[in-house]
Amino acid sequence: MQTSRIAAFVAAALLIAPQARAQSVEDFYQGKTLTVIVGNGPGGGFDVYARLLARHIGKYVPGHPGVVVQNMPGAGSLVAANYIYNVAPRDGSTFGLIARNLPLIGLLGNNSNVRFDPRKFTWLGSSSDFSDDAYVLIVRKDAPARSIADAVRPGGTPLVLGGTAAGGGSSDVPKILHDTVGINMRLVAGYRDSAAIYLAMENREVDGRTTELSSIRSTRPGWLLPDSNFRILLQYARRTRLESLSDVPTAREFAPNPKARELIEFTEAPFAMAYPYAAPPDLPRDRAAALQGAFMAVHRDPQFLQEAKVTGVDVSPVNAADLRRAIEDLSRASPETFDYVRKLLASGKDG
């Protein structure tokens, strides 16, 4: 009797197991909710991109799941990256938008708070390759420097710039510009998110910041008007000047020597994956492929593109394979380059 029961149980298990294994991507996502983690607070450029994507991606994922956005700011989106890599379910139900320079920070290996290998994320792609964007140094018009020439003049009053934390561009790029171009600045780091830095600028707590031009377009468009109280001094992450900023020089133009230019070019490389979306490692292959396909499909959606145009964000998508390739290219930099960048970003120097 006991033997017959065991045989029946085994037979039933053998019948059930193939059905479980054969669950389709559509079956998995039907009735589920996709969670999109944003490594920044509400009101900034990254939040704008993520919420725009979240409004449309559900219709391109098989099974058409609902989509919710969860802001998880902290340490320049390092909190979100660690969560996605180590805590989020590895079933395809969660992915997120993290800072573009976190892959480089992960490869540098000198931040004890980094708990991920950027080569092992399941990358979905990037919403922009930065071809129509720039990372700009923007200041109030009453700041000590009226031009980049003023900002690099020895002995002048330092620009007080706001930033989040190490690993965030608003903190790391000023250090790079200080060391390469010679900008005279003092960094005030520790702001919770991009919106908090904008508010600090408006309240005259700081003179300015570095940020994406697209972020200003989408969240503070009035700042770009000729009669605004703000001006852009420099373009970073640009080989050439943007047509819309033809009178604003690039960081490469101000590099005083080949070594400085080499460092600028290396640290600008992550901007080719300007708004990168990552899911946890080891996702089921079919679900990873479905999310990657849906990600690229969204960026061809006419309604998405129209909303992006109205919002003022750049859409020039990078697929998952090209994003992974860019990270591998970064990983092959010379040991000397890695050592120099490690020391620079760890120094906290602010002029």
Instruction: Quick: pLDDT tens for 159-184.
Output: 999 998 766 788 889 999 999 999 99
188 pLDDT higher than 90: yes
Identify the pLDDT of residue 350. 41
Identify the pLDDT of residue 8. 52
Query: How many CA atoms within 13 Å lie on the side-chain side of 135?
Result: 31
For 245, the 3-state DSSP assignment is helix
Identify the pLDDT of residue 4. 54
- Say how far apart CA 84 and CA 122 lie, in whole Å: 10
Instruction: Quick: pLDDT tens for 230-283.
Output: 999 999 999 999 999 999 999 999 999 998 998 899 899 899 999 999 999 999
CA distance readout (Å), 13 to 17, 21, 23, 277:
6, 12, 16, 38
Domains within the chain, CATH numbers bracketed: 9-131+272-339 (3.40.190.150), 135-270+343-347 (3.40.190.10)
Mean pLDDT score, 94-112: 93
Mean pLDDT score, 95-113: 92
Tell me the DSSP string of 141-210: TTSS-SSHHHHTSTTSPPEEEE---TTSHHHHHHHHHHHHT---EEEE---SSHHHHHHHHHTTSSSEEE
